């Protein structure tokens, strides 16, 4: 029979959550790379921007909750970055920008920072 301490289970749970966050960012980056290759007016761009919007809206919501255990300053910085990503994605959607590179680079930096 297996016995796990609460700390072990909680640690695994946090590791699982971080892994899911990395996977979501990987998927977003892959979609953005495909969109960049096909161009601003492609279905790939619609899909990539929609996915980015969904995950960052969720991340920002979670970061804003008082029970989020990340340090307050880090949460504020991530919210600011998330809002920039959402604004830049909206500019791409409206045809005012084609800054896929910026969206990809920032997403990769955030993904690589999740430990």
pLDDT tens profile 29-82: 999 999 999 999 999 999 999 999 999 999 999 999 999 989 999 999 999 999
In whole angstroms, give the CA distance from residue 5 to residue 3.
Answer: 7
Between residues 83 and 14, which one has the greater pLDDT?
Answer: 83
Closest CA to 51 of 33, 83, 79, 25: 25
Picking from 59, 39, 73, the residue whose alpha carbon sits closest to that of residue 107 is 59
Cα distances from 71 to residues 40, 74, 91, in angstroms, run: 37, 5, 30
pTM of the model: 0.86
pLDDT at 84: 98
Burial classification of residue 25, based on how many CB atoms lie within 10 Å of its CB (0-12 exposed, 13-18 middle, 19 or more buried)? buried
**Has residue 7 got a pLDDT over 50?**
no
pLDDT at 111: 97
CB 27 within 8 A of CB 40: no
């Amino acid at each position: 029979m297996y016995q796990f301490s609460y700390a072990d289970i909680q640690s695994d749970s946090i590791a699982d959550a971080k892994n899911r966050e990395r996977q979501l960012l990987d998927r977003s980056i892959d979609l953005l790379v495909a969109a960049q290759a096909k161009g601003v007016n492609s279905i790939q761009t619609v899909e990539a921007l929609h996915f980015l919007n969904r995950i960052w809206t969720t991340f920002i919501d979670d970061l804003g909750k008082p029970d989020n255990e990340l340090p307050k300053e880090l949460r504020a910085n991530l919210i600011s970055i998330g809002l920039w990503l959402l604004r830049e994605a909206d500019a791409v959607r409206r045809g005012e920008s084609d800054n896929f590179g910026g969206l990809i680079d920032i997403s990769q930096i955030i993904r690589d920072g999740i430990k």
